[in-house]
């Protein structure tokens, strides 16, 4: 059996919080008079909070101190967390839940590998707290994707080698991170079109076909 575990990115794979990221960054950008649109928001996929802020500040002509930047990121996060409060178990699609359950029943270990420091709160909103065997997120890493740290930590928490895990991603940075860590990857959306991705998917449940092709007896 090629894979024994699946490591899932969170935003863009298990759930979709881009709209909340967008609204929260937009509020901050508007207050500072910075141009911000959905296209710029797309560049923030899989990127850490402080790196996202730097991308938004490319359109700002004033220099800010590290303290000021940190305060802006904190403010954005407060707005974002408030918006996340609107999420309910209904934001978890039937397709995602059924696929996760099938993988679990087939004996795979399941983990999260996300850049978000709000991972645990989001999982709680979705009714997935205590569901995963391991969670590696923005709170336990010092380098963000495309560095492989978040996935290497997830594999370490599961006590698996990278070659035994499949990473599921929606962002190019995540696919590159997986490759650099020695993981195969399955991509959705932008990640599916990436040259570096191992398997391209049209929808989340395609994962079942991928693991079946790599495993006897499922
Ligand atoms: P936070 P992922 C990423 O999550 C998001 O895609 C990205 O837009 C966000 O900036 C990053 O988390 C940090 O999130 O501000 O909540 O710590 O795709 O790696 O699950
Ligand atoms: Mg993502």
**Which structure tokens are listed for 52?**
């996202």
pLDDT, one tens digit per residue, over 93-141 is: 999 999 999 999 999 999 999 999 999 999 999 999 999 999 999 999 9
| Cα–Cα distance, 120 to 145 (Å, whole number) | 19
pLDDT at 46 over 90: no
Q: How would residue 218 be classed by pLDDT, with cut points 50, 70 and 90?
A: very low
Q: What own/partner pairs with CB < 8 Å and gap ≥ 24 does 12-15 have? A: 12/45, 12/46, 12/169, 12/170, 12/171, 12/188, 12/189, 13/168, 13/169, 13/170, 13/188, 13/204, 14/92, 14/96, 14/112, 14/126, 14/128, 15/87, 15/91, 15/92, 15/96, 15/122, 15/126
Q: For the chain, what percent of residues have pLDDT higher than 70?
A: 99
37 is catalytic: no
Neighbours of ion ligand 2 (CB under 5 A): 9, 11-12, 46, 170-171
Q: Which of 11, 137, 170, 184 is catalytic?
A: 11
pLDDT, one tens digit per residue, over 58-95 is: 999 999 999 999 999 999 999 999 999 999 999 999 99
Pocket test for ligand 1, best of 40, 138, 147, 189 (most atoms within 8 A of CB): 138
Q: How many CA atoms lie within 13 A of 56 on its CB side?
A: 33
What's the CA-to-centroid distance between 217 and ligand 2, angstroms? 31
pLDDT, one tens digit per residue, over 11-29 is: 999 999 999 999 999 999 9
Across the chain, what does the average pLDDT equal? 95
Helix (H), strand (E), coil (C) string for the chain: CCCCEEEECCECCCECCHHHHHHHHHHHHHHHCCCCCHHHHHCCCCCCHHHHHHHHHCCCCCCCCHHHHHHHHHHHHHHHHHHHCCCCHHHCCHHHHHHHHHHHHCCCEEEEECCCCCHHHHHHHCCCCCCCCEEECCCCCCCCCCCCHHHHHHHHHHCCCHHHEEEEECCHHHHHHHHHHCCEEEECHHHHHCCCCCEECCCCCHHHHHHHHCCCCC
**Residue 117: CB within 6 Å of ligand 1?**
yes
11 is catalytic: yes
What is the arithmetic mean of pLDDT over 148-173?
Answer: 97
Rg, the chain, Cα only: 17
Q: For the chain, what percent of residues have pLDDT higher than 90?
A: 93
pTM score, whole prediction: 0.94
Measured at the CA of 76, the angle between CA 75 and CA 78, to 5 degrees, comes to 65
pLDDT, one tens digit per residue, over 161-196 is: 999 999 999 999 999 999 999 999 999 999 999 999
Q: How would residue 159 be classed by pLDDT, with cut points 50, 70 and 90?
A: very high
Q: Is the peptide bond before 146 cis (omega within 30 degrees of 0)?
A: yes
Instruction: Give 200's strand partners.
Output: 187
């Amino acid at each position: 059996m090629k894979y024994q575990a699946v490591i899932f990115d969170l935003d863009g794979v298990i759930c979709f919080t881009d709209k909340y990221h967008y609204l929260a960054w937009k509020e901050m950008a508007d207050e500072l008079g910075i141009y911000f649109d959905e296209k710029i928001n797309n560049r923030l996929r899989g990127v850490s909070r402080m790196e996202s802020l730097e991308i938004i500040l490319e359109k700002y002509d004033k220099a800010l101190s590290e303290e000021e930047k940190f305060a802006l990121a904190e403010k954005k996060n407060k707005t974002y967390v408030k918006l996340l409060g609107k999420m309910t178990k209904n934001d978890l699609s039937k397709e995602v839940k059924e696929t996760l359950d099938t993988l679990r029943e087939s004996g795979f270990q399941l983990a999260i590998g996300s850049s978000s420091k709000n991972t645990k709160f989001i999982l709680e909103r979705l009714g997935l707290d205590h569901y995963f065997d391991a969670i590696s997120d923005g709170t336990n890493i010092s380098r963000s994707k495309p560095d492989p740290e978040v996935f290497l930590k997830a594999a370490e928490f599961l006590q698996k080698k990278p070659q035994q895990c499949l990473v599921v991603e929606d962002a190019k940075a995540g696919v590159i991170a997986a490759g650099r860590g020695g993981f195969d990857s399955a991509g959705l959306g932008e990640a599916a079109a990436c040259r570096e991705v191992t398997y391209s998917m049209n929808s989340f449940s395609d994962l079942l076909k991928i693991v079946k092709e790599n495993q006897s007896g499922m």
